[in-house]
Structures are given as structure tokens and as C-alpha cells.
Chains A and B, each alone.
Chain A
Amino acid sequence: MRRSVFAASLVATAVMCLGGIAAEHKSFEASAQKKTASTAEVKIDNFSFGPAAITVSVGTTVTWINRDDIPHTVVSTDKVFKSKVLDTDERFSFTFTKPGEYPYFCSIHPKMTGKVVVQ
């Protein structure tokens, strides 16, 4: 699964490199590649993750930014990812390579919960 996505990405990248000369039916893959290379942001503010639930495509890098006066962490409930403590304005990024639901929370303030849905 992962390998095929990677292969598709390679094709898509090659297509993009050739720039514009790709056949019409390849443009879908090119746009898919554009989507997979995307980024998303979750802001930590007022002891909450915003947005609390976010849906992204495979390959998206999600970045959390702490805008609170208090340190927080971003820890996957299923131990998929775990940030160090983030002080004010510090960031943590994670790239989601597999589809699925990734619930997470702040291990310091566990009432703070969020979810990343990867499609």
C-alpha cells in the first residue's frame, strides 16, 4: 500500500517535472501529488487544539503551534507520534503517511484532545 502510494508519487513528481507536456489523463495524478505534499496547521490556544478535528490526505505534514502562555504537548493516544514539550510559539510537525484516525492529546493537560483523520 505504502509502496504503491510512493510509486504513484514518483510518477506524479516525474509528470510535474516534465511540466505541462504530460498527457491529459495524468493531470489527475499531478493534482493528487500536489495535495499529498500539502501542509496543515493546528493552533494550540486557550488550552485547546484548533481545529480539534482535522481531515488531511496521505502525505500531509501537520504542524502544531503553541500560542498559549503555558507549555503543551502533542501526544498520539496510540503512540504514533509524540512531541517534546512545546513552550509558547514552539512547533511540532508530523507527516502522516498512512490513512486512518489519529486521536491525540496534551499529556500535561489531558483534557485537551484532538484528532487527525488521514484519507
Chain B
Amino acid sequence: MAGNTKDEILHDHNHDGIDRRGFLKCMAWAGTGAFCVMQGGVLKSFSMSRIAEMNPGEMKGELSFVQISDSHMGFNKPANQDVAATLKAAVDKISALSTPPEFLLHTGDISHLSKPEEFDGVEQILKSASAKDVFYVPGEHDVLNDDGQQYRERFAKNAQEGGWYSFDKKGVHFMGLVNVMNLKAGGLGTLGHEQLEWLEKDVKHLRSSTPIVVFAHIPLWTVYPDWGWGTEDSAQALAYLKKFGSVTVLNGHIHQTMQKVEGNVTFHTACSTAFPQPKPGEAPSPGPMKVPAEQLRSVLGITDVNYVRGQHALAVVDSSLA
């Protein structure tokens, strides 16, 4: 299971009764099996099933990390009654990577109901990952009832008061943003004035050649406003990043893979390690999607990001758990 990257090819030979066409359709919306390389602002996309055939050099860089998202620890509805197992499977998959990632990014909805035992569960499982450092941003499920106080005490000790922060790794500037607080009726995700001000100052001193990776829970581009899949004031944040030649935005929240390139910015959403959600507008609501058990792991996943220094390339690999 872990380490298998040939989901689609395998399928030709499996006599497991899964309808191939249906399966591929499912794969397509989940976006699993997409390997993308951004070079000088141009995104190249490869099928995950081709990674085994690819030149390993294309996947290697001076910095690699893994993005996981939407663990929803504590969720136990029919869409996935064992979210701990699928998170463990993601961790196994990370450990099986030929190039161990330097760290993990978790793009929020760590827990389902902000319960201490749910946060504990995720931290415990992630301890066995090959990468020891985990950088988090909160999802709306992590800040329930206490305005995120518990989240910040656990996961954002060294962050700004509001929970946002930045750090540098091998020449790449990372910014973990919070867009799930103080949401207004009828609105989308919000960064807020204070955070935007901080962001502007935070990048001011950086050279425009510095690659930027922004990560936050709710997409920073408008995926589907009817379901709240966007951030009200993300345009302002992106305006502050205009001068940079390479900006990558990593988000979670929508439990499926989507990519978009806009000028120098590549937007990317990751799958959930817990349960898939429908494509925008293709269901009455964005609630958990129940897929046949044998397909579940193919629609959950991790995103593996490689940065090749000097070439301004960020390779984004989305890998299913199947």
C-alpha cells in the first residue's frame, strides 16, 4: 500500500471488481496522481503514475517537505470511521519517500471538534513520521468554542499573537497564515487587517528572487464562493507578494486537489487524510462524501513538495494513500 505510486496502472491488472472508468473519474476529481513542477513561474504537471519512470533528479532538490491536511481527528461518520488509520497511512507513505522530507506542513482541521484528545491523537501519530518538525496552521475545526486559544498554545507558541508566523528554510520564505477566525455572516475566510499589515512588513526586506511559500487552511483564491471556498481579503495579501518571482500558495479545507497558476503565483489545494468532499457545485452541500471503501484511500492523500534551489522550481507531488 504505502509507496505504491501506480494506482492507475495497477488497476489494469487487478481483478478487484472496481469499475475502472468510475475509479479514474474519482481519481481525476481527487487530483491524486498529479506531479507538478514549477519552473520560473511555469507549472509542469505529471501523472503520479509516471513518477517511477521519471528521472529522480526531477524530484530531488535542496529542500523537500510534505504537506498534509484536514486530518479531522475525531470524525467517525460513514465517510470514514477510522481517520486515525488513514492519517497513519499518510505517515507511512511519507516514511517511504526516497528523499526524506525536511519537515511537514499541516494545513489545518487537525481535529474535528477542537478536543484535546483529538489534537493529542494527531501529534502522537505524526511523531512517527520521518520528519520531526511539523508546521501547522489552524482550520475552522481547530478553533471551536475558545477562539483558538488551545490551538495557539499547542501549535503556535512562537507565532505572532494571532497565530500567524513565518520562517526561512534554505532560502525559501514560508508564511503560515490564519484565515479561519472572526468569520462574518455570509462571508468567506478572512485574514484581517492586523495580519495583512504584518504580512506586508514581513516580506518587505526580502529580495524579489526569494521563493515564497504561503500556507493557510481556506484557499487564498476563490474556488467556489457559494460554499465559502475562498478568502475575502486574499487579494490584498497577494498584492504584497507581487514583487516576488515565485510564489506558491498551499491550502487545505476543500478535501480535494486543485491547482491554478496566476502570473507568478501557483495555487494548490491538498487532499484530506480523512474524507473527500464533492467537487464545487456537484452536490447540494460540501459535506463529507462517502465513497466505496476500496476507493477511500485513493482519494485521500499527502502532497510532497520539492524545491530546487537556484532554479526557482517547486515540485508539487500529490500522492494518494492507495
Contact = CB atoms under 8 A, between A and B. Distances in A.
Given A71-B112, A71-B113, A108-B141, A47 B286 contact: yes
Given A71-B144, A88-B77, A110 B287 contact: no
A110 B288 contact: no
Interface of B is mostly: loop
Contacts of B78: 69
A105 B141 CA distance: 16
Contacts of B227: 47, 111
Contacts of A107: 183
State which size class the interface on B falls in.
20 to 34
Contact of A77 (B77, B185, B228, B285): B185
Contact of B141 (A71, A84, A111, A113): A71
Interface of B: 77-79, 112-114, 140-141, 144-145, 183-188, 225-228, 284-288
Contacts of B141: 71, 108
Interface residues of A, number: 22
A70 B288 contact: yes
Interface residues of A, dominant DSSP: loop
B113 A69 contact: no
Interface string A55-85: 0000000000000111101000100000011
Nearest to B227: A111
Interface of A: 46-48, 68-71, 73, 77, 84-85, 87-88, 103-105, 107-111, 113
A105 B185 contact: yes
A108 B185 contact: no
B77 A110 contact: no
